[in-house]
Amino acid sequence: MELLFDILKILVGLIAGGVIGFFIARKYLMKYMKKNPPINEQMIRAMMSGMGRTPSQKQVNQMMKQMNKFMD
């Protein structure tokens, strides 16, 4: 009976550690992505230029706003 409780304690500890670790990693990643966004204005300009378009500042701002909205 004592062995069963020991195994149960270990399983509960592992599950609790996994859940807590998941939320800590998620919060860290969200903070990192907000601080270091994956796409910036220069990348948007290069992407649109690569498609044969010359983007205006208004178009770049719209794309950045959409990307920021998507990230939130």
Kindly report, residue by residue over 14-38, the tens digit of the pLDDT: 999 999 999 999 999 989 988 887 7
Q: Taking the complete model, does pTM exceed 0.85, yes or no?
A: no
pLDDT band at 47 (very low <50, low <70, confident <90, very high): confident
Q: What is the mean pLDDT of the chain?
A: 89
Region for 52 from its dihedrals, namely left if φ exceeds 0, alpha if ψ lies in -120 to 50, beta otherwise = left
Residues 57 and 32 in one domain: no
Residues 32 and 44 in one domain: no
CA dist 64 to 23, 29, 35, Å?
Answer: 28, 20, 15
Residues 5 and 30 in one domain: yes
Tally of structural domains, the chain: 2
Residues 59 and 72 in one domain: yes
Task: Using the predicted structure, report yes or no on whether residue 39 has a pLDDT greater than 70.
Answer: yes
Residues 28 and 55 in one domain: no
Contacts of 34 (CB under 8 A, 6+ apart): 71
Per-residue model confidence (pLDDT) at position 37: 74
Residues 49 and 32 in one domain: no
Residues 50 and 30 in one domain: no
Calculate mean pLDDT across residues 46-54. Answer: 88
Which domain covers residue 50, as residue numbers? 40-72
- Distance (Å, whole) CA 25 – CA 42: 29
